[in-house]
A and B are shown apart, each in its own frame.
Chain A
Amino acid sequence: MNPADPAPPAVSAAVSSTSRGEFLAGLAAVGPLLLGAIPFGLIYGALAVQAGIPPLLAIAISSIVFAGSAQFMITKLVAAVTPGSLIVLSVFIINLRHALYSAALAEKLAHLPVRWKVVLAYLLTDEAYAAAIRRFGDDENPRNDPALRHWYLLGTGFGLWFIWQLSCIAGVVLGGRIPDAWSLDFAGTLTFIAIVVPLLKDRASVTAMLVAGVVAVLAWGLPHKLFIVVAALAGMAAGVLMDRQRSSA
């Protein structure tokens, strides 16, 4: 992982990956992201109870929806007594970005049986995608075996799922006992920052970030959290346009 590491001894060239090894490597890769997921799950659980969601449902949502930012939004919408149809629409909108993760991984998972695809799609989150795409794109890693990639993705997805359930349950149980002054919800935003910043490698990606950010703030007042979709589309379009402009120049 660390480019500063000395070249591995020749023996390790003979290392052959196993499904179990890849699963464990996936678990390990998602480890650092858990530091953001745990406080985010805790605060979700606490906010859900405070919003009047029954504890059992609050816990079930973590398995049914399994999407941090969407769950966070749900607590705000339920607290504001939003109609159910608008809650479903908002969740759909905020989770639309996962369609693009799905497209990015589709080719790499095309050979798998349907049951694998269902499980991996269910477990597909920002964090699992970020960990997996870094590995899948690393063609020089001798352990990046295309035939075993799904085990790696399962490791990242399951690791996140398991810790997410535990921290949401803990949040529900602790309820309102977590002081607001801790600002634990900020850990979720910090996780997003830790994912986005390393992706800012060229002018087009920086442009996408700036445009998405400015549009999000300007469009923030739109109903049904539409600012998320509007800003995301604007940022993506800006990135594509910047790439085109540079390649034609």
Chain B
Amino acid sequence: MNLWQTMLLAGLATFLIRYSFIGAAGRIDAPAWFRHMLRFVPIAALTALIWPDLLIEAGRLQLWPLNPRLIAGLIAGVVAWRTQNIFLTIGVGMLALWGIQWLL
């Protein structure tokens, strides 16, 4: 399988996932427990991408308090919580990261 074929298959898989329930609407109904789980999907799936990016660097857990990504991520989290503003969250988060990297 060359890279083009690989990517076409990956794209087809992605489309079929996205089309699954939309395409089957009316014929397949998601069970109640599944719908209940829906509420937690974006939280759980995106958190699974966020935490390792903040806490793991070069394959190692970086729990020390001077980890720049951890500090910048926490600052961004507070901004997101207080303002609910996506622009501010990203802007402040990037400035915090650059500032901390510059200081250290």
Residues of A near any B CB (own CB < 8 A): 32-33, 35-36, 53-54, 57, 60-61, 64-67, 69-70, 74, 78, 83-85, 87-88, 91-92, 95-107, 109-110, 114, 117-118, 120-122, 124, 126, 129-130, 181-183, 186-187, 189-200, 204-205, 208-209, 211-217, 220, 227-228, 231-240, 243
Contact = CB atoms under 8 A, between A and B. Distances in A.
Contact of A57 (B4, B21, B55, B90): B4
Contacts of B14: 65-67, 70, 91-92, 95, 98
14 contacts: A54-B3, A84-B1, A98-B18, A102-B21, A103-B34, A117-B19, A121-B23, A190-B76, A196-B43, A197-B89, A205-B43, A208-B40, A209-B47, A235-B47
B22 A106 contact: yes
B86 A217 contact: no
B44 A64 contact: no
A187 B90 contact: yes
B50 interface: yes
Given A87-B10, A190-B89, A216-B51, A195 B42 contact: yes
B21 A236 contact: no
B18 A70 contact: no
Contacts of B34: 103
Contacts of B10: 64-65, 70, 74, 87-88, 91-92
Contacts of B61: 217
A238 B44 CA distance: 10
B2 to A, nearest CB: 8
